[in-house]
Structure 1
Amino acid sequence: MLLPYAKPPPGDADHALLPPRSVPARSRTGEGFYMVRLLKSALVLFIGLHALFYALQNIANIDAAHGALAYVLSGADHAAYPATMFFKTGNPLLAWAALAVVLAGELAVAFFGIKGGWDLFAARSGTAEEFHAAKRSGVIAAGLALLVWFGFFMSFGAAFFQMWQTPLGTGSMEGAFMYAMASAITMLFVSATDD
């Protein structure tokens, strides 16, 4: 028995019995939607490049980076709040350990950001589910960036060691705030929707 079907529009009789053809995500959603995917890919890549540039500049200026951390950890020149409930240290080994943690964090952000940007670019024409799954490394990069710049610099540096009291510390704290916020906004923009 034949099932009834709607009469095809005039001139379209040849296509009425063909199965619907697969339409790539870009065509199905429009060029603007595709552009948003490219923007998300680029922003995640920039999180990685940003961290990579800082890590490489810190390595190129390793003695100055160590000196800056030693200065912050020592509590030198803290006139506004000279006392602390915690500790200050002039131990150069602790400054090297802190620098190693910062560099490891920056390099981890760089790795996941660059990988995340590539993963999103590679999935740009995929389904919503495929593109959403490709966000994993990018979200890890943005989360690690928040950990490095909010956690290390703002929580430990600015609050614990009160680096806001010196021009060197204030510059680092303000920079860390900008980097943390840029990473947070990028993470929200990238992960707010499936695409």
Structure 2
Amino acid sequence: MAEAERIIGTPDSSEAGAAEPDKADEAAAQDPQEAPEQETTAERPRGARRIAVLFAVAALAYALDLVSKLIVVAKLEHRESIQILGDWLQLEVIRNPGAAWGVGEAFTIIFTVIAAAVIVVIVRLARKLYSLPWAIALGLLLGGALGNLTDRIFRAPGVFEGAVVDFIAPKNYPVFNLADSAIVCGGILIVLLSFRGIDPDGTVHKD
């Protein structure tokens, strides 16, 4: 009996091994969504790294802005300006309740709301972020917006109406701070990425 089972009842091991790929192919054919799901899973770590870059850049920009403002307020406010490059570049502390050039001094609360809205939009956009240059650009915007928003909330004359501390004074140019620099650099980078057709999700399109 055992001999008969060996001859007619037990499949050859090589045949069994050959059948396994067929089963695998059949399973793949029955589930066409499996490959895209695997690609999505592979993309998640890459997206997480881009988000980490965004928040790391934002944290660095915010920390530099915050520390610089604390130092210049403690050491330079109500004192003579310090010349860095003669008349071309000086350090001079001013309190700016408006935007650049002191525009909109009566609308401080509006600039506060705009800064808060920018932060919310960037955080929401981060979920679809797969581009490293976009992560850096949005990180600069986020850090700069947080820096100036901190002034709007915590500095005099009151909550959401605080004046921003500016201290970098080039000749014939409005006084600004490191948060403003981060915002400008982030905006320029976004414009360049848009001209090159690079989207935040990493795709490239040509108009």
TM-score (norm 1): 0.38
Return the structure number with greater strand share. 2
Larger Rg: 2
TM-score (norm 2): 0.37
